[in-house]
Structure 1
Amino acid sequence: MKSTLLNMTAVLFGITLIASAGVGVVNMITLEPIAQAELAAKTEALNGVLPAFDETLSDELTIDDMIVTVHTASLDGMTVGYAVEAISKQGFGGPVSLMVGFTPAGEVINVNVLKQTETPGLGTKMADEGNPLINSIKGQQLEQKKLVGGKLAVTKDGGDVDALTAATISSRAYVDAINRAWMAFKSVSTGEMPADTVSGATRTSEPEAQEGGQNE
């Protein structure tokens, strides 16, 4: 084939077309496994902060310009708890995302750290079982804590939540996410929208969240 601008253009176009098709095929192959992995991780997180349930319904709220998702869990049609996905942008290494479980009465069941990029051996300890942060709130109703401006706070800021050693910024981010989860829980459980919260979506069924329970 004689090398001409037209021929070279056609060859390049063909290569680009084949490469694009290849990327599309790979994306189609990996899309389902990724979705399944995300679903499994979500179900595990729900099971870690809730008692046994057979169905969840979700509400999305916008608090401080961030999406907070509240999963209302039920068993045989009766509400047994709420699992709230909340985020804080105040982490030392980046956003901190939590799944916080509440009983219908507002007691904290458990907290799972979904995502964090904090300093290894310091801020990362927020994900350790029995760390000072979770021990300060687990099994308690947050309104009975020592609040600062109506919110939880670490001891250094006047509250009574014990911070991680040498990781005050990470601890504040953790507490910030808990506060946002708490606000969303109160909104959904009581039906009263806080003044600084805007509803962002309708309530939808999540049949994929099957029966589970708190992981001890």
Structure 2
Amino acid sequence: MEKLKSSLLNMVLVLVGVAMVIGAVLAWVNNITEKPIADKAQQTLANGIRDVMGTADINVDEPDSLTLDLQGKAYDFVIHNVNSTSGDYLGAAVESTTLGFGGDMKVLVGFDAQGKVLGYTILQASETPGLGAKADKWFQKDGKGSIIGRSLADGNLTVDKDGGDVDAITASTITTRAFLKAVNQAYAAYKGNDTDGESGASKQKH
């Protein structure tokens, strides 16, 4: 067999062939992993909703998507309205995202029918390693900066260094501010879930 001559054309053809093979392999891997990843994400969210609402005996409505204009910037929220198995309205779990120290921080916050914080969990954090895990515990019932049971109808939650009464995570005031902002905005979305476009909120139900 005649040896393939080395030329620019031959090298380009080989590179294109290799790229096509790699692309096909990646597409195949993505195809077989996409559904398990999506299923895991849905299960994580479902578990998170039960956790932040404080009970597993619930029925969750189809999620609502909501965009609010807050301080001149558009923020997107996902609201999961929750009922008891007997049909009583319990409140809602709200997905809220803000910019933290290292990137986006996505928080799921549970509110009861009166707007009190039932619980929260952090779905995504790009903070300094360890800070995201610390934030997931710091504001819980037994944490130093607990927000559980707080009513945001009385006003936004604010870190103590800014004149509020929520203890900041040790050496991480920026992360604390980002977390509290996510919670405050989640409450705004929860209260604005039934508003129309005239109020500055747009709602789209999936």
Q: Which band: TM-score by shorter chain?
A: 0.7 to 0.9
Q: Do residues 71 (structure 1) and 76 (structure 2) align? A: no
Matches within 5 A, 1:142-161: 142-144=152-154, 147=155, 151-161=156-166
Q: Do residues 37 (structure 1) and 40 (structure 2) align? A: yes
Matches within 5 A, 1:113-152: 113-121=122-130, 124-128=133-137, 129=140, 130-133=142-145, 135=146, 137-144=147-154, 147=155, 151-152=156-157
**In 1, Cα distance between the equivalents of 2:104 and 2:11?**
47
What's the TM-score once normalised by structure 2's chain length? 0.81
Matches within 5 A, 1:1-216: 1=2, 2-3=4-5, 10-50=13-53, 51=55, 52-63=57-68, 64-74=73-83, 75-89=85-99, 91-121=100-130, 124-128=133-137, 129=140, 130-133=142-145, 135=146, 137-144=147-154, 147=155, 151-188=156-193, 191-193=194-196, 197-201=200-204, 203-204=205-206
Contact 1:57/1:73 (<8 A) preserved: no
**In 2, Cα distance between the equivalents of 1:108 and 1:42?**
18
| Percent identity between the two aligned chains | 34
What's the TM-score once normalised by structure 1's chain length? 0.78
Aligned residues: 193
**In 2, Cα distance between the equivalents of 1:162 and 1:7?**
66
Q: Which amino acid aligns with 1:32?
A: K
Contact 1:97/1:114 (<8 A) preserved: yes
**In 1, Cα distance between the equivalents of 2:5 and 2:93?**
65
Q: 1:13 to 1:121 in 2, by over 3 A?
A: closer
Contact 2:152/2:184 (<8 A) preserved: no
Structure 1 residue runs without a partner (length 5+): 205-216
Report the alpha carbon displacement of residue 80 of structure 1 after superposing the two structures with TM: 1.8
Q: Which amino acid aligns with 2:98?
A: S
Determine the structure 2 residue equivalent to 1:211: none
Aligned Cα root-mean-square deviation (Å): 2.5
Contact 1:68/1:184 (<8 A) preserved: yes
Q: Secondary structure at the match of 1:152?
A: coil
Q: Secondary structure at the match of 1:80?
A: strand
Structure 2 residue runs without a partner (length 5+): none
Q: Secondary structure at the match of 1:98?
A: strand
**In 2, Cα distance between the equivalents of 1:161 and 1:68?**
24
Contact 1:122/1:165 (<8 A) preserved: no
